């Protein structure tokens, strides 16, 4: 582009900047902007389409089309040429628009007399706001220089929207619209509060700059500082081979000459250094999102992180912006580690993540703290601002950002009803889960943190059916000491006040990777090197943990169970480690447990068919329902397309449960069911009717489960289930619901 074109581009941007200083309302400002762009670009039509909702674009301002079409002409994402630009995030440039595939004629606009069409997306860092369109009567193809110039203009419009320049009677101000996000339940519960961003977004207040030479000096200096910081990271001696490989890819971005050159070219066209960084980030994001290569798509994180670091260098806006955390904070983040989440603690009302997984350690911490959590809420980071009102429905996996008052009222009614139900459950706290036909069901809670233990009393749990020991490994940057673990386990047993606690040995691998452990690139980690497989292959870590547990017992009863046992041989090997450590502790003169119980988690269908000797030798067995269900149905519980399609009340799954109950019965092996489904009242009733007399769940589920069991007759429930099976029904849920309806609860 020549100097004349650069000057024209800068003049246009300065005129747009001047509009910001005028006391116009939102619509007047938009109208003035379309007039200026059409005039500067020498074209008859300039129109701005903005998103009314995530699927609908609306004509919000125009120079050249009929004014009466403004706020009346709408189209769906992907519909027509405008919709195509919005969907693809890429320009459409044609000399004969009506002949283009997908063209949609909108007679109310009067556009039939215009032949040429140039549409570019108005976007900001993955956030698509609308489309900027130029049209003219003559059949012209807009030049590359024209496209470059209008893309720069679109970037400035995106920044102006970010600053609220279009607020007013057009009703489409960015970060002011109510919006709903559908994600996945990470932890049940409902919360109302205000957004607290884990990493606040950088706000660019100066998208247009007068002096390109000064801005180029700024960008070069900032990139130089960024490169030094990345090189320093790579020079760290503690990095292993894999970490270095990741950082080398990161360094390649930072040292890319093309990256810096493209930003400098945008500065020459009139953007500030900050706006040029964001424009390049948006453009590169669009390119990477279109590619099929998963590795290249993953580099989006590198690109975003580098761009955000560069913006923080340029603006001086650190992560601590000085903003005060609201009294009712709902944490919003792309992802978060367990240690960071624990730092926030119980101050949080809720957590919303763009990424995460239902089995992640962050989700485990959220459950421990009883904080409602929604994961996979894609796009919320770009839309949320600190202090925005937010509603988190962990039960449905739905988030309402800046909700309308009718939504808020309905949500508060739901929270009030839940609070009322909790009061009712609290009255049952000290009563046993005794069914009307005299069956006693033991209700235990799952835990993993000291913060969980107060729930033992508050929930009415009779003990801890699962204490996850991996969290103490996950929240540290190095392997914990044996003495540290022994102290922690002793505190857990102290807090339990004589109630049983089943300590599950280290369950890492799959989605739980220790930060100081060499990661394994496995095609299917859920079925890979994890849990007891790691323990038996790394006996030093297993023995250290067993020693800590034995010393923590201080002569009290101790329950140890091994995770992910898939064959009898694994249990025998793990059990022998315990017996050896008992012998060693005795020889050292240390106190050993008064009563030691060694159990296993049955999480793979194969273990249900182990030899009789396994069921005789195991002191107790805990069905790990979450994993058992996914392996039984071959349905990945992290995959939203399949995880909800399969039901534990399917007769095939219940046949497996029946089989396990029958295998344990001759040996008197204590059997429990542990997992999300144990905490769902209908499922809990079914398990109890199948003969499972111990259920372990999150503390908040104990009240609802106990309330239902105390009014149910297990014999009648089992009869209803058996009748459904005899009728050839695939699922017994309907039969159980009919039985409960007859109770008139």
User: Token digits for 52?
Assistant: 């009314």
Q: Are 381 and 333 in contact (CB under 8 A)?
A: yes
The neighbour count for residue 668, using CB atoms within 10 Å, is 9
Give the distance from CA 446 to its chain's centroid: 22
Asked whether the CA dihedral 580, 585, 589, 591 is positive or negative, the reply is negative
CA distance 608 to 628: 10
Q: Are 667 and 689 in contact (CB under 8 A)?
A: no
The neighbour count for residue 440, using CB atoms within 10 Å, is 11
What size, in residues, is the chain? 745
User: Token digits for 736?
Assistant: 């159980």
Does an H or E element contain 62, and which? strand 56-63
Q: Kindly provide the residue ranges of all beta strands, DSSP E only, lying in 91-165, ordered along the sequence.
A: 92-94, 116-124, 127-136
Strand partners, 447: 467
Residue 668 Rama label (left phi>0; alpha psi -120 to 50; beta): left
The DSSP string of 207-225 is -B-S-HHHHHHHHHHHHHH
User: Token digits for 158?
Assistant: 């995106």
CA distance 679 to 447: 14
Catalytic residues: 361, 674
Sheet containing 127-136: order of strands: 74-76, 56-63, 45-53, 127-136, 116-124, 92-94
Q: Are 142 and 63 in contact (CB under 8 A)?
A: no
369 burial type by CB count under 10 A (0-12 exposed, 13-18 middle, 19+ buried): buried
The neighbour count for residue 25, using CB atoms within 10 Å, is 13
The neighbour count for residue 576, using CB atoms within 10 Å, is 10
257 burial type by CB count under 10 A (0-12 exposed, 13-18 middle, 19+ buried): exposed
User: Token digits for 36?
Assistant: 């200026």
Q: Which residue, among 197, 194, 175, has the nearest Cα to 318 in the 3D structure?
A: 197
CA distance 66 to 555: 86
The DSSP string of 560-621 is EEEEEE-SHHHHHHHHHHHHHHHHHHHHTT----SSEEEEEEE-SGGGGG--HHHHHH-SEE
Q: What share of the chain is helix, strand, coil (3-state, %, to 5)?
A: 50, 20, 35
Asked whether the CA dihedral 715, 718, 724, 728 is positive or negative, the reply is negative
């Amino acid at each position: 582009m020549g100097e004349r074109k650069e000057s024209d581009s800068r003049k246009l941007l300065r005129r747009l900047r001047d509009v910001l200083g005028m006391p116009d309302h939102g619509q007047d400002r938009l109208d003035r902007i379309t007039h200026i762009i059409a005039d500067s670009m020498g074209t008859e039509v300039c129109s701005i389409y903005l998103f009314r909702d995530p699927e609908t674009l609306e004509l919000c301002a125009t120079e050249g089309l009929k004014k009466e079409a403004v706020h009346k002409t709408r189209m769906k994402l992907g519909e027509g040429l405008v919709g195509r630009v919005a969907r693809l995030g890429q320009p459409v440039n044609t000399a004969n628009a009506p002949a283009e595939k997908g063209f949609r004629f909108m007679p109310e606009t009067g556009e039939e007399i215009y032949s040429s069409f140039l549409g570019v997306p108005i976007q900001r860092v993955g956030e698509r706001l609308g489309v900027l369109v130029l049209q003219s009567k003559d059949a012209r193809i807009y030049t590359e220089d024209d496209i470059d110039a209008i893309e720069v203009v679109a970037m400035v419009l995106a920044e102006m929207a970010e600053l609220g320049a279009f607020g007013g009677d057009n009703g489409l101000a960015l970060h002011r619209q109510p919006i709903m996000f559908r994600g996945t339940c990470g932890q049940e519960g409902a919360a109302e509060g205000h957004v607290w961003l884990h990493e606040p977004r950088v706000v660019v207040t100066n998208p247009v700059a007068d002096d390109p030479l000064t801005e180029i000096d700024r960008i070069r200096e900032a990139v130089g500082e960024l490169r030094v910081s990345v090189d320093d990271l790579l020079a760290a001696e503690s990095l292993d081979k894999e970490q270095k490989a990741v950082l080398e890819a990161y360094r390649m971005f930072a040292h890319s000459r093309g990256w810096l050159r493209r930003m400098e070219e945008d500065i020459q066209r009139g953007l500030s250094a900050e706006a040029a960084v964001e424009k390049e980030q948006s453009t590169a994001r669009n390119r990477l999102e279109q590619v099929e290569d998963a590795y290249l798509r993953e580099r989006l994180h590198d690109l975003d992180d580098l761009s955000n670091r560069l913006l923080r260098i340029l603006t001086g806006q650190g992560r601590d912006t000085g903003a005060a955390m609201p009294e009712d904070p709902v944490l919003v983040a792309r992802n978060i580690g367990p240690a960071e989440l624990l730092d926030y603690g119980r101050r949080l009302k809720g957590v919303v993540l763009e990424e995460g997984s239902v089995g992640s350690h962050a989700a485990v911490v959220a459950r421990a703290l009883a904080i409602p959590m929604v994961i996979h809420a894609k796009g919320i980071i770009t839309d949320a601002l600190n202090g925005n009102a937010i509603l988190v429905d962990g039960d449905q996996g739905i988030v309402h950002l800046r909700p309308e008052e009718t939504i808020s009222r309905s949500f508060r009614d739901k929270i009030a009803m839940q609070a009322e139900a909790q009061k009712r459950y609290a009255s049952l706290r000290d009563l046993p889960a005794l069914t009307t036909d005299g069956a006693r069901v033991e209700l235990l809670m799952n835990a993993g943190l000291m913060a969980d233990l107060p729930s033992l009393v508050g929930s009415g749990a009779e003990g801890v059916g699962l204490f996850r020991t991996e969290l103490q490994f996950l929240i540290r940057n190095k392997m914990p000491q044996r003495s540290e673990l022994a102290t922690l386990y002793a505190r857990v047993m102290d807090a339990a006040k004589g109630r049983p606690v089943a300590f599950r040995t280290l369950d890492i691998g799959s989605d739980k990777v220790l930060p100081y452990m060499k990661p394994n690139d496995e095609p299917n980690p859920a079925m890979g090197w994890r849990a007891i497989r790691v323990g038996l292959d790394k006996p030093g870590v297993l023995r250290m943990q067993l020693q800590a547990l034995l010393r923590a017992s201080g002569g009290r009863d101790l329950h140890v169970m091994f995770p992910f046992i898939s064959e009898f041989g694994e249990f025998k090997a793990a059990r022998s480690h315990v017996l050896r450590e008992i012998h060693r502790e005795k020889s050292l003169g240390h106190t050993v447990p008064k009563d030691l119980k060694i159990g296993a988690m049955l999480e793979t269908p194969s273990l249900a068919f182990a030899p009789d000797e396994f069921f005789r030798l195991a002191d107790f067995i805990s069905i790990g329902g979450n994993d058992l269900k996914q392996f039984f149905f071959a349905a990945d519980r992290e995959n939203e397309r399949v995880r909800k399609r399969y039901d534990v009340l399917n007769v095939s799954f219940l046949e497996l449960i029946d089989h396990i109950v029958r295998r344990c019965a001759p040996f008197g092996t204590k059997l429990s069911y542990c997992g999300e489904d144990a905490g769902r009242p209908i499922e809990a009733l079914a398990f109890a009717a199948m003969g499972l007399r111990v259920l372990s769940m999150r503390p908040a589920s104990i009240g609802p489960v106990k309330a239902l069991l105390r009014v149910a007759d297990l014999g009648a429930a089992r009869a209803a289930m058996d009748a459904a099976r005899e009728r050839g029904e695939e699922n017994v849920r309907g039969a159980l619901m009919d039985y409960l309806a007859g109770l008139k609860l």
